[in-house]
Amino acid sequence: MLKTLLAEVNISEGRNQDLIEQVKAELLKSGSVKLIDENSDKDHNRTVFTYTGEPEAVLEATKSLTAKAVELIDMTTHKGSHPRMGAVDVVPFIPVASDNWPGSMLMMVLG
């Protein structure tokens, strides 16, 4: 069964550090995922959070991060050189430790 899932979630905010910190706090509040990278780009006005954990923990943390980002990011005033599709617009899940590839794909689709 799938053991570790990596998520690399992109939010449409790279300038407002307070907002970025609020979203990150929401991501980490459960203590069940490990943040392995955070990268903000002021020109693109985007931040990418990369984190790992057990599949259910990653899914729940992603839901929390997404809800907070949608609550805080006003896309009607957003500016940046990257195309803006939404407050959260890229949410890839990558299995990094799995002995069941079809099961990990099912987790991503049904999550």
Show which residues are catalytic: 82
The H-or-E segment that residue 104 falls in is: helix 101-110
Record the tokens describing residue 42, joined without a space: 């002021």
Q: Give the three-state DSSP class for 82.
A: coil
Ramachandran region of residue 29, left (φ > 0), alpha (ψ -120 to 50) or beta? alpha
